[in-house]
Structure 1
């Protein structure tokens, strides 16, 4: 095994990409505080936009600096999920988005959550992030800061509300389409494992 493979398979806690991810994580409570307890709505929207919009930075750093790690592969999507769910529930609680939209997103997350133990049971780790999933997450996420401005700044509502909801509904459609891709991949992997077991072949090891 070469050095790069050894490094990529290690936890690699102290890396620049992980530092960026942790800084992004720190933006979540800051956003909640600014939105719920202050009148700095534009600042809250900016924190949310930067925190979610810089998702690609840690991944690019990991590849360019050859600092990919197991911790990074787990932490990065976890932070993305936390941003989505925190923003979603906060905006719903403040009546900036309706519950029907929130439920549609949460049902999608629940559908994907079911896939994880199924994959684990059949010897697979989490599925790699699909480009469609990344795009859907980005579009949905970018709708949130716009909807914050639309709901709390009366002067910006005329342009922010149509833009925010265009992004939100487009992103939601992509979000569910990506979920279909992930569920289909799960089904195909499980089918392949069962076929191998039927033929007496070795099954994959969880990574």
Structure 2
């Protein structure tokens, strides 16, 4: 196992740590939980950079990296839903999109189809989600409206990925 993949695997540990901090009674728990979320984002950038720089991009890493990202986002949205910082419909939209991406990626991976690496739109979606999560965690005005813009953009990004996948593999499933 290479270093970028080990970093990706370590990011899985950050998911329960985020939840533990978010639902704890410790002082400044929102800052601590958001710090863990930022650490997950930074290690995502680092493992991707290391994989590309050292030419250690693997099929396993290409599947696990977006999986851990989406699981973290789902955990955060679940915590925000349970504390009424975000509505059910917005959370459901995020869950449907991200679970759809997880299932689709896994299906294509196990069918030995070529998968699509993150493109600029995918990376922008991630950054925009982090901004939305910051706004939601800290109860900022306009947070949910901003989130809806990000949700629409994320679905558009998903359609672009599906189109690219179709072109790469030359047929639907």
Instruction: Say whether the fold is shared (TM-score over 0.5).
Output: yes
Q: Tell me the matched-pair count.
A: 170
User: What residue number does 2:141 align with?
Assistant: 161
Q: TM-score, normalised by structure 2?
A: 0.80
Post-superposition CA distance 1:40-99 (Å, at most 9, x none): 221111111221244211010112233333332222111111111111112112211101
After superposition, the Cα gap between the structure-2 partners of 1:73 and 1:82, relative to the gap in structure 1 and judged at 3 Å, is same
User: What residue number does 2:45 align with?
Assistant: 56
User: What residue number does 1:180 align with?
Assistant: 159
**1:30-49 correspondence runs (5 A):** 30-39=17-26, 40-49=29-38
Q: Which sits farther off after the overlay, 22-31 or 91-100? A: 22-31
State how far apart, in whole Å, the 2-side matches of 1:54 and 1:113 are: 20
Q: TM-score, normalised by structure 1?
A: 0.69
Question: How far did residue 31 of structure 1 move?
Answer: 0.8
Post-superposition CA distance 1:108-154 (Å, at most 9, x none): 2354456447756976243332321221122113321331122xxxx
Gaps of 5+ in 1: 1-12, 151-159, 195-207
Q: Find 1:29's aligned residue among 6, 16, 20.
A: 16
**Would you say the 8 A contact 1:115–1:183 is kept in 2?**
no
Once superposed, what is the RMSD of the aligned Cα atoms?
A: 2.7
Q: Find 2:72's aligned residue among 62, 70, 83.
A: 83
State how far apart, in whole Å, the 2-side matches of 1:48 and 1:139 are: 14
Q: Which sits farther off after the overlay, 72-81 or 18-27? A: 18-27
From the CA coordinates, give the structure whose radius of gyration is larger: 1
State how far apart, in whole Å, the 2-side matches of 1:19 and 1:114 are: 22
**Would you say the 8 A contact 1:53–1:142 is kept in 2?**
no
State how far apart, in whole Å, the 2-side matches of 1:27 and 1:117 are: 22
User: What residue number does 2:129 align with?
Assistant: 140
